[in-house]
């Protein structure tokens, strides 16, 4: 194998139809945020994920921030989440002055372990933020039941909300239901390495009209009406009713997202085919005990945003083996990556929350060997051959 160009772990796929859609938006009367194409994108995504409302925002992180604010997270509140995620899943709790509490993950799926969540509940718990790790939905029914039980125990009448960080799982299903229809608020990412892209962008899906209204205000400076609505009504007057942000998604980006959404099923099918190829090609390494493959569960459809394996060292030093394999594969121009450094390992979190190492041993042990192999729709079968060959040589 002699690759001349790096094969990244993920990459967008833009075609002529996408370019034409953006060009048409450029020629339209509205290119800014909260425009008519954005409204079309919101309706299309809501229909796709089975939600009553979808609110387009400037990034998945913006969506998490607004979801945390809409949930009322503030000083004195706690929100339980996983440490095995990108920091944004916990950062959104801190933005409003609340405290993230980390619960351990299941050893097979690496998603939040409901029993560990239950053990972390306190009277201050105001939300649970589940992460669909790599594209596999978390145990959403169990987590919702925990939230409902915690809500019933609160003496102030406040609900403990389930927020689903579904940045990895657009198009996934859980027990026959689409991700986006299962939590109080579900946040999707439209970053270029995700299932569809708007360049940068995100969407929050919800069935709760009150939450949807607050999300729309918060993304638009806290203003109670939108410019397009006022123009259509021939009105100029507006009121800022709370402190909000400029988290709007432009119509240029929405045009790209609409075009991409039409290809989502094709993209998902290709990701599934690539995952199956990896499973077949890596079976020898798995049975030999060199690697552990990502889990599948029969009651949910995996969206395969990532293909995270775990390398297994005979001497138990998985981190050292992972470091050698990482370096060897990059030398072969295979852009493997690590998802994720446990959130509370980061210097900021150590300063802010103290040393939490050892508090989530399953997540920490998994991190030692995690290595994400490239997976994205534009990959060829030959690319899979190159990845597997480089991994075999490295091990």
* Collapsed DSSP state (helix, strand, coil) of residue 82: coil
Q: What is the DSSP letter of 295?
A: P
Angle, CA of 350, 344 and 148, to the nearest 5°: 125
Angle, CA of 192, 20 and 230, to the nearest 5°: 85
Backbone angles phi, psi at 284, to 5 degrees: -65, -40
Task: Provide DSSP, 115-133.
Answer: HHHHHH--TTEEEEEEE-G
Q: Is 120 assigned a catalytic role?
A: no
Q: What is the enclosing helix (H) or strand (E) of 79?
A: strand 78-81
Q: Which two tokens mark 315?
A: 């001497």
- List own/partner pairs for 357-362 with CB under 8 A and 24 or more apart: 359/102, 359/104, 360/83, 360/84, 360/102, 360/103, 360/104, 360/105, 360/116, 361/104, 362/104, 362/105, 362/106, 362/107, 362/113
Active-site entry in 144, 194, 214, 248: 194
Per DSSP bridges, beta strands 185-189 and 161-165 are: parallel
Q: What is the DSSP letter of 248?
A: P
Q: Which two tokens mark 265?
A: 């099923």
Closest CA to 143 of 181, 111, 172, 168: 111
Backbone angles phi, psi at 189, to 5 degrees: -105, 140
Peptide bond into 286 cis (omega under 30): no
Would the CA dihedral through 145, 149, 150, 154 be positive or negative? Answer: positive
Cβ atoms 64, 183 nearer than 8 A: no
Would the CA dihedral through 340, 345, 349, 353 be positive or negative? Answer: positive
Q: Which two tokens mark 373?
A: 């192999």
Cβ atoms 141, 175 nearer than 8 A: yes
* Collapsed DSSP state (helix, strand, coil) of residue 354: coil
Count the neighbouring beta carbons within 10 Å of the beta carbon of residue 289. Answer: 10
Phi-psi region of 250 (alpha: psi -120 to 50; beta: other; left: phi over 0): beta
The catalytic site residues sit at 194
């Amino acid at each position: 194998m002699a690759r001349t160009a790096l094969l990244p772990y993920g990459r967008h796929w833009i075609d002529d139809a996408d370019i034409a859609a953006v060009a048409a938006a450029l020629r339209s009367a509205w290119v800014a945020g909260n425009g008519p194409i954005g409204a079309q994108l919101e309706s299309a995504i809501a229909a796709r994920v089975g939600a009553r409302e979808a609110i387009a925002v400037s990034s998945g992180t913006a969506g998490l921030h607004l979801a945390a604010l809409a949930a009322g997270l503030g000083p004195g509140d706690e929100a339980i989440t996983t440490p095995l995620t990108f920091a944004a899943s916990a950062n959104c709790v801190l933005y409003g002055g609340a405290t993230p509490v980390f619960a351990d993950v299941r050893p097979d799926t690496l998603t939040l372990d409901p029993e560990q969540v239950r053990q972390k509940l306190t009277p201050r718990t105001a939300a649970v933020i589940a992460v669909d790790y790599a594209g596999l939905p978390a145990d959403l029914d169990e987590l919702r039941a925990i939230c409902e039980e915690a809500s019933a125990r609160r003496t102030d009448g406040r609900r403990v909300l389930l927020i689903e960080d579904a940045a990895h799982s657009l198009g996934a299903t859980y027990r026959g239901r689409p991700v986006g229809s299962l939590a109080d608020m579900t946040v999707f990412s439209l970053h270029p390495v995700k299932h569809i892209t708007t360049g940068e962008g995100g969407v929050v899906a919800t069935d709760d009209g009150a939450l949807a209204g607050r999300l729309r205000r918060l993304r638009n400076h806290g203003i109670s009406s939108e410019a397009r609505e006022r123009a259509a009504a021939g009105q100029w007057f507006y009121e800022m009713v709370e402190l909000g942000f400029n988290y709007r998604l432009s119509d240029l980006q929405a045009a790209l997202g609409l075009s991409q959404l039409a290809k989502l099923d094709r993209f998902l099918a290709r990701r599934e085919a690539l995952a199956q190829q990896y499973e077949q090609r890596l079976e020898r390494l798995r049975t030999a005990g060199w690697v552990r493959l990502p889990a599948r569960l029969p009651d949910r459809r995996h969206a395969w945003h990532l293909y995270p394996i775990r390398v297994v060292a005979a001497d138990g030093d998985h981190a050292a083996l992972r470091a050698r394999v990482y370096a060897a594969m990059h030398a072969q121009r295979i852009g493997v990556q690590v998802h994720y450094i446990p959130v509370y390992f980061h210097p900021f979190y150590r300063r802010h929350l103290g040393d939490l190492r050892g508090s989530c041993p399953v997540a920490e042990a998994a991190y030692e060997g995690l290595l994400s192999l490239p997976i994205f729709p534009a990959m060829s079968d030959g690319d899979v051959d190159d990845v597997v060959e480089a991994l075999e040589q490295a091990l």
